Structure 1
Amino acid sequence: MSKGFKQRLSYRLTRDTVLVAMALGLVLNVIQITLDYFSAKESMEKEIHALIDISNSPASQIAYNIDVRLAEELLDGLLRHPATIDARITDNDNETMAAASKSSPVSSYRWVSDLLFGPDRVFRQELQVPQLEDLPLGNLIVTIDTYHYGAQFLQRAGYTLISGLLKSLILSAALLAIFYFVLTRPMLNVISALSQVQASTPEKVRLPIPANHREDEIGTMVGIINQHLETIDSSLAQLRHAESAMKNYSTQLEQEVADRTREISEKNEALQRGNRALVKAKEDAVRRARARANFLASMSHEIRTPLNGVLGMLGLALEGELDPAQRNRMEIALNAGESLLGLLNDILDISKVEAGKLSLENIPFSVRHLIEECATLHAQQARRKQILLVTEVDPDLPENFLGDPTRVRQVLNNLLSNAIKFTDEGSVRIRAAYSGGSLRIDVVDTGIGMSKEGLHRIFSPFSQADVDTTRLYGGTGLGLTLCRQLVERMHGQILVDSREGSGTHFTVTLPLPIHETYGAQDLPRVDPRLKDIGIAMAIPADNPYRSAIEAQLRKWGIPIRGASRDPDGILLALASAEDKETLEFANDWQGPGVILADATGTLPPGKANHQLLSLPLRRDELLRCLGLAAGLVHSDDQHAHRAETIDQNAAEPSLSILLVEDNQVNQLVATSLLKKLGHRAEPAENGLKALQALENNHYDLVLMDCQMPVMDGYEATQRIRQNPEWQQLPIIAVTANVMQGDREDCLASGMNDYITKPYKREELRAVIERWRPSDSAEVSGR
């Protein structure tokens, strides 16, 4: 196997080596020529100055004696120097006494010399004699042609370059021969020997080691190749032995394969039967899941429909005139109905979470207001059990977060309900703070606590700490299960710590981002005059409410002093109807005003400058009481503002509303609520009746049930939207369907909004006001 000349290793090594040597030689030659150039210039300068210095003394005597003949002889002598082309002696008036010159030599390389040394040089020497040192006699002027020196320099430079090139060529030939005999030829011999190795019998060949290469890399390479050939020889022997063994096993394997094939066929038939059974089981499971979903949807609708009527009627009854016993029974019935509704919602939410169909909102909301609203909602339950319900919200808590307020409220309400249920004395505290990008809410109670075994099953569905707890306190055990599932859906974490008899501590951590538009405009404005007035605190230091109130007052920069040391401040005292001593102290207070913190809900209205602060604490309510007690805000202004708001609401024209509802009880509830809201309602039993009513009358808004006989709400809405005159008519779904996708189905059919049964008056008012036609006043007048 021969290689071309340029592919040989010796050529490539020679080429690379010579190129490096030539480059290095060229650099060194350039350096040498450069040094020679500067040396030539220096030598030229010295030689010309020496020539002029030698001629200076005779020229001075000639100028002194004014001897023209001697001057010409001197100048002719100067012209004999090959570089001198002109020489002359002048007097003090620059008049030429004598001169001599010759032409410059002609050469094709003269331009190079002129470029390096210049075309010519003029040297001037002043002439003087020793006896008249202060009197100049004239000048000796010599013109030098630099080509004499330039030609010598170019000759030397050419010799240097040519000799360097010749050296490189000689080196190339020598290296090429050396590399060929030392490296290339032995390698070619090895390659030739390797090419003779047959692929079928590589073990029969051994490569000869080239002469004089046993100890170098070529000998080492050939030795390694021979070792590999020996290894191949050994491996082939083993393979032949293995091949012989394989032939022996082949017959046995064929028999085993036949046996295994028969077994696999039998197992495959069994597997197919199993797969058919699994497919059938899966189809049955899917049918059961759909049946369960349909059952939940149907049961939810069927339970919510009468429950809406029950809660609506109870709510309407409580707005009438009742004696205390009747009102108490009605409130009990209403609370029982709301508990049933809560249980139904918990079951539906758990089924949504387990099915992965629970959707979360991501809207701005105030965690502080949410906590205060939840605490206010549970305050009456805590008062009935005579336990303290305390909110301790960090004053530095950001005002707005992005998240799902409904689900956060649901978690907090469940935790509060549990804490109050299992606490018979002491307190329930709600703490909230924001740190490290996460909102932390703690609910701490001093109730019965839980054992270690109870902690392990507390989040399991339909489980409580133990059987005795279930018998004593009741409940389904769904609340905490739902709490954990909701918190995990919000990418948070819920932890519990408890000891039996020492209370329980729930911690909820939620990674909620701060709302971007949060700013100083969202914070309540504190009148700076309150900082001058100060607070006279008359709440015991160990009372749980005091720390929460003090933290908020300090955040506002309002000074706090004891009541006995600050008779000129606003008195802030904790009192109840039975606490006569505190009430008398408040009545005798001479300061600007009094705030009575009421944790029992039993305090009657006091003097004009007495303000009642309902507990648990609400920040905005505390600020309102401070302004009123200090006289910075007048109650008449607030009453006027409320009256103005009521007048504005009353000034809104009533609407003509078509109520499409098949249940007569719900018709009665909705009609009564709409009447109390100041609207006119006309019922229709189904979608077909609704279409007929719309043909005969004009309505500002339609409340549409979804499931009705004859024609349901979806079809009725679609037919309404087909009429161009009713394209802008607001249609609001009022339905007991609350499963995943029900809202989307309503909106897809053409409805504008969606509320679920049972609903409250404020929810109904809000959705009607949201969709009130802008020209309702004109419409109502037609």
Structure 2
Amino acid sequence: MALHKYPRPRWLSKSAFALGAVLLTAFVLGLTGYHLWRLRSQAIDNGLLNAAQLASALEEHLTQTLSVMDVSLVQQGEASFSPTSAEKLTRNARYIRSISLVDESGLVLDSSVATNIGVRFDKSIVLPKSDGPLPLLRIGPLMDGRDLSGARPVAQDALAPPQSIIPVLRDLPQPSGGYASMVATLNPDYFLNYYDRHLNLADGEVALMRMDGSLLLSTAERFKPNAHIDPAIMALLDKSVSGRLRQTDPQKNAQLSAYRVSRDFPVVLVVKLNEDRVLDDWLKEVRNTLTVVFVILSIALLTSAAYFLRLIRLRHEHDMRVQDLDNQKYALDQHAIVSITDTAGRITYANERFCAISGYALDELLGQPHSILRSNQHDKEFYKHLWLSITGGNVWHGELCNRNKNGDLTWFQTTIVPLTDIDGRIQQYIGIRTDITERKRIEASLVSAKATAEEANEAKSQFLANMSHEIRTPMNGVLGMAGLLLDGELNPEQKSFARNIVHSGEALLALINDILDLSKIEAGHMEFEALAFSIAPLVQSVTTVMQIKANEKGLAFRVQIPQEAHDAYIGDSHRIRQVLFNLLGNAVKFTTQGEVSLHVAPTPTGLRFEISDTGIGIPESALNKLFSKFVQVDTSTTREFGGTGLGLVISKKLVEGMQGSIGVQSSQGVGSLFWFELPLVKAPTKLDAPSAPMTGKIGTVAEVKGQSQEAGAGKILVLLVEDHPINQKLATVLLQRMGFQVDLAKDGAEAVLAAESRSYDLILMDVQMPVMNGIEATEKIRAGSGPNKTTPIVALTANAMQSDKDACFAAGMNDFLTKPFTKEGLSQVMDRHLHRVE
């Protein structure tokens, strides 16, 4: 806080002051007026630019829409006309009411709407006019009616009817000679709704007209289809395909207009903005600016007048009285912890609160460097930055920790202000502090609590992983032995019992997988890959399994993947497959008759997946809780169909984790449609050989390869490393039935000894074993000099976490098979790796 001397003024006359005030006022007002005029011009220019940009955007939408329709009409005409195909096209394209086949005379021969057949269409009403066929889309006027049947021209000067159509015609030559025409009726409401979303009625109007100037439609509340756009726009059309202009409507309202001719079709898009609405912001700026200018000018004149009167009173030069800077501290003493130091950092003043909290008496502090209070909680760079800031004349704010006389730490919110003399030289530093020790203690407690919560969450995840392992290990024996029973000769009742064991075990495993996935998601441990994949093999890997389940229930199962969706994409194919399994599994589960279908379609940003069924459906009141944890829409469905309510929760979190969205549409008793969209980037090139799809589920149906392998497998020697007796027996039986010779090791140490003494074609390695685990055993085999240094090693483990897979591959294993495993899964692994050594 520096004090300065007043300048030495010269005496001024009242007339000079008055003249200066008038000139200042005139200059400020003139400058303000010029500024506001420029702002108005810019606002109008921006309004015209906005109108032109909107016209360009809407014209692009119109042209693309008509182009799609033109191509569709050509395709309908070149092929044998199918009313069913045409009707399906109109359902997908909301802007088309009907598509009809018309002969040269205009008679409707066939149509997607049966009532149109036999109606005669007047070809002379379309533009551009021609006595013969033209290879382009021609546009008719707005007509009264819902479709060609009953359509009639709008009377001259009549308002647009509530129900209307715009007919368009496309001539097509016929192989047998002559030509036929395709006539489509456009739905004006589609375009009006689209335009209304881009421009409010109060802000302006969007109109569509033909090249002869007749209106096709307008967002205005009332318009006459036979009316013509004003001559100004028609005159500009002769010169340019786009333009902008200022004009007034019949009610004398100023408008900022822009038009743009479709680049491919004989229609013009016109946008008219209400100039008053465009200038609303400018008018606000005018009011605000004039208010500010008036206030500033008034303050300036009043201040100048006061200063002038003071100069008149003084008339002589004088210096300001220099106030003692020590008097400035008294206001702070009552409310803050205050100290003052000189430029060398020695304490020259401390108030009572400072002395009390530091534990020092005032005479113990005076003359001492402030560093006697340092706590060693801050490094040298902290104090260097502080010192450079205040010595540079800047005010420093921050948190500072001091140590009092007894050694206790106290935290302060501190402000240090450099005080200068009248020449701007720093004389003292005043420090103003607020005790924040309690706040810092609370913050430390919160950090500790957060760490404790994170440790508990990690412990929960580890517990779930251990439980998964402990459950999967015996379940491998249960399911495997049940599978062996099913391969044997059993009576029907015994086979039913064995299948029930398998189905119950698979249901338990699915629940375990869901809980693990949900735990990983909530703990933030779920990772997503970004790898290239092909959509068709991915979908096939899911639908192959779902087709079987649907067939078992007598359901039709349909899959639609358009050709344009067959590109390669970058994303996490495993998670996409998991979501598809969940949604398709639910669709098959809750559908007792009818069909289940999967439709994949590209979007501007990626892909959209739709799973529909004709199942029990979902009440509308329950849709909002559908994606909640452990929630079933109706508990009776749990009793009938089973399930925990986790599948949809996991699907939602997986989709959102891939930055996508998911939703549902359903009617109770009719069926449901679940959808999810993912933003996926296309891969730079198509994949030459997409990786083999993996279902990510236990017990799915897999194509068992390796027929040639089994035929000559008698010479193939496999080392099985497994500590669990039942799993030893299961794996040994399965391998021997496949024709392999099996050696058994009960732990990692035995496996290392066996691998050093004998050459194997493949090693199946359990991970969690006594004496030596599978990770350590694999590392020793890979590091050793025995004959199995490069032998394929496959993890055969109940550890199902991603971190477990990473650890196995890091140790040198070649593949990973999760318990419980099936004969098909084991066969695929054996085939995949033994083909390399054959």
Normalized against structure 2, the TM-score is what?
0.47
Query: 1:421 and 1:721, CA in 2 relative to 1: closer, same or farther beyond 3 A?
Result: closer
Asked if 1 retains the 8 angstrom alpha-carbon contact of 2:479 and 2:505, the reply is yes
Asked if 1 retains the 8 angstrom alpha-carbon contact of 2:4 and 2:320, the reply is no
Other structure's SS at 1:353 match: helix
1:66-465 aligned within 5 A: 200-202=5-7, 204-206=9-11, 251=330, 253-257=332-336, 268-383=436-551, 385-394=553-562, 397-398=565-566, 400-465=568-633
Supply the AA of the counterpart residue of 2:798. Answer: A
Asked if 1 retains the 8 angstrom alpha-carbon contact of 2:6 and 2:320, the reply is no
Other structure's SS at 2:336 match: helix
The structure 2 residue matched to 1:762, chosen from 802, 818, 824, is: 824
Cα distance in 2, alignment partners of residues 226 and 349 from structure 1: 73
Cα distance in 1, alignment partners of residues 640 and 353 from structure 2: 65
Supply the AA of the counterpart residue of 1:741. Answer: S
Query: 1:476 and 1:205, CA in 2 relative to 1: closer, same or farther beyond 3 A?
Result: same
The answer for the alignment partner of 2:98 in structure 1 is: none
Other structure's SS at 2:680 match: coil
Cα shift at 1:459:
0.9
Per-residue Cα deviation, 1:695-739 (whole angstroms, up to 9, x for no partner): 333322221111111111122222223322343233222221122
Asked if 1 retains the 8 angstrom alpha-carbon contact of 2:719 and 2:763, the reply is yes
Supply the AA of the counterpart residue of 1:658. Answer: L
Cα distance in 2, alignment partners of residues 361 and 355 from structure 1: 18
2:649 is equivalent to residue 481 of structure 1: yes
Cα distance in 2, alignment partners of residues 424 and 470 from structure 1: 15
Asked if 2 retains the 8 angstrom alpha-carbon contact of 1:203 and 1:233, the reply is no
Cα distance in 2, alignment partners of residues 358 and 219 from structure 1: 69
Supply the AA of the counterpart residue of 1:751. Answer: M
The structure 2 residue matched to 1:737, chosen from 788, 793, 799, is: 799
Normalized against structure 1, the TM-score is what?
0.51
The answer for the alignment partner of 2:660 in structure 1 is: 492
Query: 1:748 and 1:374, CA in 2 relative to 1: closer, same or farther beyond 3 A?
Result: closer
Query: 1:479 and 1:703, CA in 2 relative to 1: closer, same or farther beyond 3 A?
Result: same
The answer for the alignment partner of 2:344 in structure 1 is: none
Cα shift at 1:206:
4.0
Supply the AA of the counterpart residue of 1:374. Answer: V
Other structure's SS at 1:201 match: coil
The worse-fitting range, judged by mean Cα deviation, of 360-369 and 459-468 is 360-369
The answer for the alignment partner of 1:590 in structure 2 is: none
Per-residue Cα deviation, 1:306-359 (whole angstroms, up to 9, x for no partner): 111222222222222222222222222212211211111111122222233323
1:555-566 aligned within 5 A: none
The answer for the alignment partner of 1:692 in structure 2 is: 753
Other structure's SS at 2:488 match: coil
Supply the AA of the counterpart residue of 1:735. Answer: T
The worse-fitting range, judged by mean Cα deviation, of 464-473 and 756-765 is 464-473
The worse-fitting range, judged by mean Cα deviation, of 438-447 and 224-233 is 224-233
Query: 1:293 and 1:435, CA in 2 relative to 1: closer, same or farther beyond 3 A?
Result: closer
Supply the AA of the counterpart residue of 1:494. Answer: I
Asked if 1 retains the 8 angstrom alpha-carbon contact of 2:664 and 2:675, the reply is yes
2:808 is equivalent to residue 746 of structure 1: yes
Per-residue Cα deviation, 1:548-598 (whole angstroms, up to 9, x for no partner): xxxxxxxxxxxxxxxxxxxxxxxxxxxxxxxxxxxxxxxxxxxxxxxxxxx
Per-residue Cα deviation, 1:147-190 (whole angstroms, up to 9, x for no partner): xxxxxxxxxxxxxxxxxxxxxxxxxxxxxxxxxxxxxxxxxxxx
The answer for the alignment partner of 2:676 in structure 1 is: 508
2:735 is equivalent to residue 665 of structure 1: no
Cα distance in 2, alignment partners of residues 380 and 775 from structure 1: 34
The answer for the alignment partner of 2:770 in structure 1 is: 709
Cα distance in 2, alignment partners of residues 774 and 430 from structure 1: 37
Asked if 1 retains the 8 angstrom alpha-carbon contact of 2:468 and 2:798, the reply is yes
Other structure's SS at 1:754 match: strand
The structure 1 residue matched to 2:834, chosen from 759, 762, 772, is: 772
Query: 1:694 and 1:272, CA in 2 relative to 1: closer, same or farther beyond 3 A?
Result: same
Cα shift at 1:757:
1.6
Query: 1:501 and 1:372, CA in 2 relative to 1: closer, same or farther beyond 3 A?
Result: same
Cα distance in 2, alignment partners of residues 724 and 519 from structure 1: 39
The structure 2 residue matched to 1:678, chosen from 739, 764, 769, is: 739
Query: 1:489 and 1:716, CA in 2 relative to 1: closer, same or farther beyond 3 A?
Result: same
Asked if 2 retains the 8 angstrom alpha-carbon contact of 1:454 and 1:464, the reply is no
Asked if 2 retains the 8 angstrom alpha-carbon contact of 1:453 and 1:465, the reply is no
Per-residue Cα deviation, 1:270-305 (whole angstroms, up to 9, x for no partner): 334434533442332133122112201211111111
Gaps of 5+ in 1: 1-197, 523-641, 777-782
Other structure's SS at 1:256 match: coil
Cα distance in 1, alignment partners of residues 773 and 615 from structure 2: 50
Other structure's SS at 1:348 match: helix
Cα shift at 1:679:
1.6
Asked if 2 retains the 8 angstrom alpha-carbon contact of 1:206 and 1:226, the reply is no
Cα distance in 2, alignment partners of residues 334 and 452 from structure 1: 36
Query: 1:234 and 1:479, CA in 2 relative to 1: closer, same or farther beyond 3 A?
Result: farther
Flag the structure with higher strand content. 2
What percent of counterpart residues are identical? Answer: 39
Cα distance in 2, alignment partners of residues 489 and 775 from structure 1: 40
Cα distance in 2, alignment partners of residues 202 and 485 from structure 1: 71
Cα distance in 2, alignment partners of residues 317 and 516 from structure 1: 50
Cα distance in 2, alignment partners of residues 661 and 357 from structure 1: 29
Supply the AA of the counterpart residue of 1:256. Answer: H
Asked if 2 retains the 8 angstrom alpha-carbon contact of 1:687 and 1:715, the reply is yes
Supply the AA of the counterpart residue of 2:527. Answer: S
Cα distance in 1, alignment partners of residues 687 and 526 from structure 2: 32
Query: 1:672 and 1:516, CA in 2 relative to 1: closer, same or farther beyond 3 A?
Result: farther
Other structure's SS at 1:498 match: strand
The answer for the alignment partner of 2:785 in structure 1 is: 724
Supply the AA of the counterpart residue of 2:775. Answer: Y
The answer for the alignment partner of 2:187 in structure 1 is: none
Flag the structure with higher helix content. 1
Cα shift at 1:253:
4.2
Other structure's SS at 2:611 match: strand
Cα distance in 2, alignment partners of residues 247 and 233 from structure 1: 32
Asked if 2 retains the 8 angstrom alpha-carbon contact of 1:661 and 1:686, the reply is yes
CA RMSD of aligned residues (A): 4.6
